[in-house]
Amino acid sequence: MSAFTRRDQNAIRRLSWDIASISTYLEELRHFWAKTIGITGAQWRIILILAEIDEGMGVPVNAVSKLLQVDSSFVTTQSKLLEKNGLMCRKASREDGRIVNLSLTDRTWAHLASLGSRQDALNEFIFAEFASRELEELTNRIGLLKRRFEKACLKVTIDA
């Protein structure tokens, strides 16, 4: 017998649909921001990852691909296009020439800074209904849910 009631199962289905819808809206926003510099939504995600985690030494292609959950060849191809457009630098690692580190150009950093106030205003609009404590709790709960989904995917793969 399931520990969840029919009402719980309905709530889980609604939550799943709402998360899927939010994902679609986030993708639409990524495409909007990407268009401001003439790139794709996927390229924008690469830029955001680098902006978030690069500490001045560059970030290996394989680290970016893991965070995006895509093959490293995809990140390699996209980073070459971004480099060609002057938005990214690609440099071989000093320790291992097979590893390519990615970093953003000054031009890209300037563009991100110029969008900051618009993005902040949009975030304030989206999350206006949440007090700081509620937003922190929601973030923690969604993080927990994400980790449970990761484990569920592994479980399904192992059980198959």
Domain range annotation of the chain: 6-128
Average pLDDT over residues 97-115: 94
Q: Is the pLDDT of residue 134 over 90?
A: yes
> How crowded is residue 90: how many other Cβ atoms within 10 Å of its Cβ?
15
pLDDT of residue 2: 67
Q: Is the pLDDT of residue 6 over 90?
A: no
Topology of domain 6-128, CATH: Arc Repressor Mutant, subunit A (1.10.10)
Give the tens place of pLDDT for each residue, 49-68: 999 999 988 999 999 999 99
Average pLDDT over the chain reads 93
In the chain, what percentage of residues exceed pLDDT 90?
Answer: 86
pLDDT of residue 90: 96
